[in-house]
Structure 1
């Protein structure tokens, strides 16, 4: 039974902590860039709307940062508690990369965050802007180092395993391993796209409820302008990532495609759209495919330049299981990517038709509801993508070098089950707390009475701090 298996329980615990933790830095890495944009626009134009946008969205940034710290530290502790043999075997490289993430990235972000949050009226606006930039750089540098470490686990380079320990002979070759560049770009654009659709979805909620529609139409338009570039780039980089798997991790590709029969090089193959994989019978019980499409998906051409190996080509102990999970996780990620790009295209067309002007935007209820529905989809795409990346790597922690069963600490299953239940309980509480405080920030809305640095301003006599103030400027000025 799986409850008596330390390996399975340790994998479940790491999956829980990793997938939950990932929800929070996803928004900070992308929203940090958005804050740099709106604060830069304020410094350039001195338009107060941009200043209030920076103040409002930074509240959600702080909330996500706090939950991210609270959930990230316990996750790294597991390398010493549940995965001690792994840490001992690859600590020469993996440990130093995690150290870089903590000292170079997290410390930079944390140190600059205090100035960004509390320095609006205490430091020069340029100094504050530099702090905001450093926060964004620190957040994205964390992504860089984490993806370096994980990419190295996917395609280990720069050394070899000697007597149970990975000895590094070329440190830079290990950092710039074959998966590194595309993996970092894929995750960078994933976090940015997710953050943009979250900001866009929240903005759509305000517009739907006719709460400062002119104010939030500005943030929605900034998001749309950015997504026009980000969404198609992300799809292309996703293709490059799949191409890497095709060339370097054939067992994972076989699981992603639920492929039970090898396709020789020089031939075309159908692309499996939906199927019911049967691991035990080593076949798909049923399947719906697109004829001769697999080559176009992998290489933009009909005939394959390399064979696509089937799962049967690998011994059962050397290939990933849970094929259905890998198969549908991949299709969920891809489907969401195309859905978000489709929403971007429709929204852009509506914008060009003049339907997103201040006078018309509140009438686009179906479009605004679509943006609201799309807000959480990026999170689902990222988590399912990581399921494909890590579950598809099995049975290896370091691909073809170190097995998962040899990486787990020798702990009693009852101990791991206890900590798993504790993590699940605490993380559930954190999730409800984050949803409560996040919804409270959104319901309260931006405080449009805040004094603007360098400008003498007083709150309106008939308003209270934090209360919404109708935008009474001329329509031309609002746009």
Structure 2
């Protein structure tokens, strides 16, 4: 298929399924906490606006949760089908970590999800709020264990190798590996930021159409306050994460910077743009700022950042990809901060809900959080190559012994099925968002939904 061998097709297939999957948890993590805040405000103030917003966004949450579970199961099975070498080598660590996620996060979410979605008029308000908080906590537990497993693959510790297999000897060291705190914070805050932008774009769309109800204004205001708080925090976490990566994965930083060699005594510049050429071993059309790379990455003006030529060619990640995926992520982050600052300025002039140019900006920025997450994952995972477990196992040694024809057929099937199933899911969610929150958007007291999506109001049919 397209001249690619089975190894590269397996990588593309996993990247494809991961890219589809990560969108749903990113939204559900943020929305679950948002729902807990909304219900808490409702219980405290009894303002029907909070109840209306809760009922509206709980429907979006239900759709994303369902699609996230389905796409996550498909992705997990690939560890055994396409990456059996990895499972055989490191399954004694990654297997238990994923099991802990199921035993804590998934069971917690599944146990309280029904009460959260269908129990508004069937249990007491305190119990229902507790159920919502437990679902939100479950999404954070899931993030904890998934990031623990992923981080260990980047900065492995707490293990020994016996008979060609990884054996855990210190589970605390395995879980709390050097990059784990930074990755956990970076991904969690990214999910909150993505959800805030998603909510804000939904409100902006309604405001542009003249639907300026109290509920729409409230969710627009909350989304922009959240963006103002978490976007700068995310930039700070990103800086700390970069310093940690420089310590443990210097080749990745060199690829991100498109930095090939260090002239003696010269600080490292920061390249704003350019085209890293892996064959020529240089960055073409480079546009940079002298010494700024050293200042950002080493917090000094005399230290140098490791260069790609200091690593063997077979150990270098693809600088062309990670150079631009990183800049896409950072560029979107700067736009998010700009959005929040402009919103604060307009809020002080009572024009937040009426400035149509700003509303269009907020609408366009709606998917930016999810795009930034995808760009960040590309930077992280491609930047780890050629290792699947950094310094321990190469990606090529982890792939299963499938043929090119088998991988081509399975990849085409995935593309077709995902486009149909999740395409319909996206379309249904967009249609539901277009309805907007209603003042009477409350689950009726009579009737028991037969399945999760039947909790959605019949008005959407």
TM-score (ref. length: structure 1): 0.90
Aligned-pair distance for 1:448?
Answer: 2.4
Aligned-pair distance for 1:140?
Answer: 1.6
> Residue 351 of structure 1: which of 347, 353, 364 is its match?
347
Aligned-pair distance for 1:263?
Answer: 6.1
Kindly provide the CA deviation profile for residues 11-32 of structure 1, in whole angstroms up to 9, marking residues without a partner as x.
1110000111111111000111
Contact 2:55 2:443 survives alignment (8 Å): no
**Match runs of 1:28-427 below 5 Å:** 28-262=28-262, 267-304=266-303, 307-321=304-318, 323-356=319-352, 361=353, 363-427=354-418
Please state whether the residue corresponding to 2:345 is helix, strand or coil. helix
> Residue 435 of structure 2: which of 429, 444, 461 is its match?
444
Contact 2:322 2:378 survives alignment (8 Å): yes
In structure 2, runs of 5+ residues without a counterpart are: 446-456
Kindly provide the CA deviation profile for residues 324-356 of structure 1, in whole angstroms up to 9, marking residues without a partner as x.
111000000011111101110110111122223
Q: Distance in 1 between matches of 2:345 and 2:130?
A: 36
Aligned-pair distance for 1:120?
Answer: 0.5
In structure 1, runs of 5+ residues without a counterpart are: 455-464, 469-479
Please state whether the residue corresponding to 1:268 is helix, strand or coil. coil
Mean CA deviation greater in 189-198 or 435-444: 435-444
Contact 2:294 2:305 survives alignment (8 Å): no
Mean CA deviation greater in 290-299 or 72-81: 290-299
Aligned-pair distance for 1:453?
Answer: 9.4
Kindly provide the CA deviation profile for residues 283-302 of structure 1, in whole angstroms up to 9, marking residues without a partner as x.
11211001221123214433
Q: Distance in 1 between matches of 2:208 and 2:272?
A: 36
CA RMSD in angstroms, aligned pairs only:
1.8
Aligned-pair distance for 1:452?
Answer: 8.2
Say whether residues 1:25 and 2:21 are aligned partners.
no
Q: Distance in 2 between matches of 1:39 and 1:441?
A: 21
Contact 1:256 1:327 survives alignment (8 Å): yes
Kindly provide the CA deviation profile for residues 20-61 of structure 1, in whole angstroms up to 9, marking residues without a partner as x.
111111100011111111110000000011001000011111
Contact 1:2 1:8 survives alignment (8 Å): no
Aligned-pair distance for 1:443?
Answer: 2.4
Q: Distance in 1 between matches of 2:52 and 2:31?
A: 15
TM-score (ref. length: structure 2): 0.94
Please state whether the residue corresponding to 2:260 is helix, strand or coil. coil
Contact 2:160 2:168 survives alignment (8 Å): yes
